[in-house]
Every structure is written in C-alpha cells, then in structure tokens.
Amino acid sequence: SGPHSNGYSLIRALVEKSGLSYGDAAPFESEKGGESLGEALLTPTRIYVKPLLAALKQTDAIKGLAHITGGGFTENLPRIVADSGLGFIIDLDAISVPPVFGWLAREGNIAQNEMLKTFNCGIGMCLVVEKGAVSNVSALLSNAGETVSVIGEITATPGVQYTGGLAL
C-alpha cells in the first residue's frame, strides 16, 4: 500500500519539484483510481499483524520477518540473519512495483539501488520460510487476503544481492 510512511521528506521534495499540488490528479495509476496526488501518497500503511499472527499459529515454518521501511531491502533484510554469515538473493523481476514508485524514481531521477535502500517498492513485509513450506505459507497468507510474492532466497554470502531489475 504505497510508501508505508517512509521517505516522505524525499516525496515532499519531489512533489514540489514536479510543480504539482496535492489536490491534482495523481500522475500515475493509483490503487483506487481517480485519486488526487495527496490521496494516493497518503494511502494508509497496510497492517500485517492479523494475517501474520494467524499464519504463525498454523505453522512453525516462518523463521523470520522484516517490515520493509526506512532502509528498504538493503538494510532491513540483513537484520533477520544478523551475525549468522548468511544473506539474501532477491529477484527484482519477481516484484510487482506499484506505479507510485515508478513516478518517484522518474521524478527524482532516483537510481534503482537508491530506491531499494529508501522504499519498499511494493513489498511491505518479507518472510523467511522453510523452503519446503513456501507453498503452504503462501496459501495461508493468500487465503487471508494478502498478495504473496516469492522474491528470493537465503544465501551463504552476507548482505543482499539483487538479480533482475525493478520495473519502474
């Protein structure tokens, strides 16, 4: 559901640079359609607690969680595996990027690596799940109304590596 209360100092600067006002039509396809720029940017942050608690009660295959906020993937994912020597490979082609992020990237001439450090780019919560349970956990969350994307895997190399590219 959009920027998730993150990056708004940058967003405000980009809106000012664009010459648009918050009452103008959003210059990108918004979630609800026909929203003003202000309404689209202030889409409430999605709260994941209910579906996650329900899934955690139904399976012990969820091994870690990361809310993708300030620091994006680059800073938040490593916290799941801190001091383990492990890391992540994230397939950027597997991420369906909401149009607001494409507009922000273009308006601010923001490079992909900066987008990944600043915004969630459409993935608000990441779960680390046992490999053999990915389908089951995905089904639990999908049945609870969540959009689920399998975007990566754990690797023996610390940090976050990216393959593919964001469709901005």
By residue range, what is the domain housing residue 150? 45-163
Q: What is the pLDDT of residue 39?
A: 93
Q: What is the pLDDT of residue 7?
A: 86
Alpha-carbon gap, residue 26 to 29, rounded angstroms = 7
**What CATH number did the domain enclosing 110 receive?**
3.90.650.10
- Segment 40-47 mean pLDDT: 89
- Segment 19-24 mean pLDDT: 97
The string of pLDDT tens digits covering residues 70-116 is 899 999 999 999 999 999 999 999 999 999 999 999 999 999 999 99
Let me know if residue 27 belongs to a domain.
no
Let me know if residue 39 belongs to a domain.
no
- Segment 46-73 mean pLDDT: 95
Let me know if residue 168 belongs to a domain.
no
From residue 9, alpha-carbon distances to 19, 35, 49, 108, 125 in Å are: 16, 21, 27, 12, 22
Given a cut of 80, whether residue 4 has pLDDT beyond it is no
Let me know if residue 131 belongs to a domain.
yes
Q: What is the pLDDT of residue 28?
A: 95
Let me know if residue 33 belongs to a domain.
no
Alpha-carbon gap, residue 148 to 12, rounded angstroms = 30
Mean pLDDT computed over every residue of the chain:
95
Q: What is the pLDDT of residue 45?
A: 86
Q: What is the pLDDT of residue 3?
A: 84
Alpha-carbon gap, residue 153 to 40, rounded angstroms = 32
Given a cut of 80, whether residue 37 has pLDDT beyond it is yes
Q: What is the pLDDT of residue 32?
A: 82
Nearest to 2 by CA among 101, 93, 86: 101
3-state secondary structure of 71: coil
Alpha-carbon gap, residue 92 to 86, rounded angstroms = 19
Q: What is the pLDDT of residue 6?
A: 79
Q: What is the count of structural domains for the chain?
A: 1
Let me know if residue 25 belongs to a domain.
no
Contact 151, 77 (CB under 8 A): no
Q: What is the pLDDT of residue 166?
A: 98
Let me know if residue 20 belongs to a domain.
no
> pLDDT tier at 68 (50, 70, 90 boundaries)?
very high
Let me know if residue 2 belongs to a domain.
no
